[in-house]
Amino acid sequence: MNTPTIAGVLSTRAAACPDEPFVKCEGEWRSLADIDAASGRVAGGLAALGVSKGDRIGFLLSTREELVVLFFACAKVGAVFVPLNIYLKGRFLEHQLSDAGVSVLVVDEEGLLAAKPVLEQTSVKHVVTVDDIDEAGVGVLTYRQLDCSAQLTSVVTRSPRELAAIVYTSGTTGAPKGCMLSDGYLIQLPRAQREAEWLVPGDRIFTTWPMFHVSGVNALLCALTERASICLKPRFSASTFMAEAKADGATVVYGVGPMASAILAQPPSPSDADCAMRMALFVPLTVDLQEKFERRFNTPVIAEAYGQTEVSPFTLSSVSGPRKRNSVGQCVSYLEVAIVDENDMAVPNGAVGEIVVRPTRPDVYFFQGYWNNLQATANAFRNLWHHTGDCGSIDEAGFVYFVGRKSDSVRRRGENVSAFEVENAIVDHPAVERVAVTAVPSPLGEDDIRATILLAPGATIEPEEFFAFLHNNLPYFAVPRYVDVRSDFPVNALGKVMKHELRSEGLPADAWDFESLGLTVPRDQRRSAAVARNRSTT
């Protein structure tokens, strides 16, 4: 049996149900036929630009209709889709553009402003803007020019095992790694949701998951393969999320746990219970908050799931199957999960070890390794298993429990933040001699970030100036909330900072808390270099 491809499924569905609403971003609903035709024209424009099979196309723009069209255009022309976190800037952005060997970069206005300072250090040959930008001295094409092209005369044949996307996952002991995802891997993503009844034909998905995360691509492909429709919102608003989902006719909503926490923190409304959707997905979320959300919004909640960009998802709970709400669910049908010790030997049920996973059959599509990083690929694939770098346990019924991360990373606002990268950016400040970044539990769930810094001899630093530096050099979600200025670090015999001691000592009373100081990054400035004081981020 032939495995379907992304381009093939879109063509088949558009032919069968041309007028069926498929996707909505900020504007009107677009039908399958609309997206199929537009992606064919844009694919033709990419081909005329010289894009050929295997070329990497980078995207630095927020969720919008053009991004959806370009995703399918890449599939038709055989190009590799490289979505970049829209909040990247400076060395963060330069690394990913250079590492992927991006030849065409698609941007919005803010994306162009972020990219301009680093373009000369990358392999980017063409910049395509989706906004009307008059930039003297910058050679840019417009999306409109691509969309005015003739239809691609022949869709490029791409086998299910050929590379379709490189999605960067945050580095934990080094720079972020590009996960190589095949066409077959992406088109297989919805299988777990289908088997678990997270999605049924006719569903309408409402989500603010961005497409630079595998979750956003997954949601789009769920709608494509399962005869559903999807509303992709570019921004999350706790005060309007459920009302907007209801207004758009959503039957399921997808989000992360902190979103549900923020929604529940809003003042109750008599109309909350009128939402009454088939399901809400918020991963992870404590049992008491799941139950609180269900009572308030009259909508069942699923919060048991676990996955990575490399393998997404590989445990989850079914809507109608057995559940243990404090777990991350059971392994999906086509994968195998185990808990192992430092020698890769299985540990007894209930014991904590590293979570490892592998496919059960050769026709199951797995991520293909890390782009340009053979050593990291070899480290992850050991003894026939993919090593997640996370710790957990499994019970006698096969339910998996997530315990924590072996690696040095922070989970903040739905993003995995590399301590290594944040430290590299902070140490560029002339007053900073050394820095260590660690996690602090957040009241909203997940983590806040603490930067412990040692100043250079004779140097001084003020909160406002340092916050401005952090905002100008880090994505907003990677800006530490707390800064602890001190005269020394706990180090081992090799001079390495012992972060476990920093964590165990807790947050010093004299540490700066930027939120308490009124220094925050407002939503409308998350992609800019401006800093605002005493403005809400909710």
Q: Report the 3 state secondary structure along 469-511.
A: HHHHHCCHHHCCCEEEEECCCCECCCCCECHHHHHHHCCCCCC
Percent of the chain with pLDDT over 90: 68
Is residue 407 very low, low, confident or very high in pLDDT (cuts 50, 70, 90)?
low
User: What's the rounded mean pLDDT across residues 211-229?
Assistant: 94
- The pTM (predicted TM-score) of the whole model is 0.83
Q: Which pLDDT score, from 0 to 100, does residue 138 have? A: 55
Helix (H) or strand (E) holding 412, with range, is strand 409-412
pLDDT digits (tens, 9 = 90+) for 444-494: 777 889 999 999 888 999 999 999 999 988 988 889 999 999 988 887 655
Give Dmax (Cα) for the chain.
72
Nearest to residue 129, comparing CAs of 147, 151, 149?
A: 147
Is residue 529 very low, low, confident or very high in pLDDT (cuts 50, 70, 90)?
low
Asked if 61 and 189 count as a contact pair (C-beta separation under 8 A), the reply is no
Q: Dihedral sign, CA of 244, 250, 251, 255?
A: negative
Return the minimum-mean-pLDDT range out of 51-55, 207-211, 483-487, 529-533. 529-533
210 has pLDDT over 80: yes
At 102, list the tokens. Answer: 């991006």
Tell me how many degrees the CA angle 251-257-262 measures, rounded to the nearest 5: 90
Domains, the chain, in order of start with CATH, read 6-157 (3.40.50.12780), 192-405 (3.40.50.12780), 409-533 (3.30.300.30)
Is residue 433 very low, low, confident or very high in pLDDT (cuts 50, 70, 90)?
confident
- Residue 443 burial (CB < 10 Å; 0-12/13-18/19+)? exposed
Rounded to 10°, the helix 214-225/65-77 angle is: 80
What rounded mean pLDDT belongs to the chain? 89
User: What's the rounded mean pLDDT across residues 200-208?
Assistant: 96
pLDDT digits (tens, 9 = 90+) for 298-356: 999 999 999 999 998 999 999 998 999 999 999 999 999 999 998 999 999 999 899 99
